[in-house]
């Protein structure tokens, strides 16, 4: 800045204020984007960008595939015979849960292709189960896996987040 010598305290404070403004702007932009992506700015690699907005890749796959499967099932074209619903819905949910838990707990590194593949399998199960729920409220094909695997996913996500925060803070709690 003109009129100030290099290393001037005013210039340092000015630079700090500009950095703080930019940080707040990025945080506000990230908060605004949370309606399509629930990921923090450091996890946007888990998103695709659609028209400049980050959209959670797992949610996009889960809801997109499951809605198609639900519609087909309700129209009379289920993806497999009804007598296989129990083992397939629960089995596909187990596969997706293993992938989610392994990634959340740090047993495997995040990989988009693995996430999409596992989520697509869960989406097949979710979509078929959702058709049962639409036809018959409180159906166990839908609520059983939601309760069991949703609980597991929630616990794994909380443990993973707690571990990430602890690692970021370091052993002594200092940043």
User: pLDDT digits over 13-71, tens only?
Assistant: 888 888 888 888 777 766 655 556 677 777 888 889 888 888 899 999 999 999 999 99
User: Which residue has better confidence, 113 or 14?
Assistant: 113
- pLDDT for res 51: 83
Determine contact, residues 91/126, Cβ cutoff 8 Å: no
Q: How far apart are CA 75 and CA 156, in angstroms?
A: 36
The fraction of the chain above a pLDDT of 90, given in percent, is 61
- CA 147, 150, 152, 157 torsion: positive or negative? negative
User: What Å distances lie between residue 70 and 61, 123, 137, CA to CA?
Assistant: 14, 10, 15
The model carries a pTM of: 0.75
List the one residue out of 64, 73, 66, 60 whose CA is nearest residue 124. 66
Which residues lie below 8 Å from residue 142, measured CB to CB, with a gap of 6+?
129, 130, 132, 133
Over residues 84-98, the mean pLDDT reads: 98
């Amino acid at each position: 800045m003109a009129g100030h010598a290099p290393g001037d305290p005013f210039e340092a404070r000015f630079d700090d204020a500009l950095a703080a403004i930019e940080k707040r702007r990025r945080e506000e932009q990230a908060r605004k984007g949370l309606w399509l992506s629930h990921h923090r700015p450091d996890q946007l690699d888990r998103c695709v960008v659609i028209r400049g907005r980050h959209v959670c890749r797992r949610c996009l796959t889960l809801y997109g595939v499951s809605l198609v499967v639900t519609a087909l099932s309700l129209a009379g074209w289920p993806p497999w015979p009804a007598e296989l619903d129990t083992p397939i819905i629960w089995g596909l949910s187990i596969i997706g849960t293993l992938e989610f838990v392994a990634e959340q707990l740090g047993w495997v590194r995040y990989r988009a292709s693995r996430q999409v593949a596992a989520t697509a399998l869960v989406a097949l199960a979710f979509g078929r189960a959702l058709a049962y729920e639409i036809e018959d409220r409180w159906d166990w094909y839908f609520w059983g896996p939601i309760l069991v695997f949703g609980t597991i996913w929630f616990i794994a996500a909380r443990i993973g987040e707690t571990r990430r925060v602890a690692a970021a803070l370091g052993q002594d709690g200092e940043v």
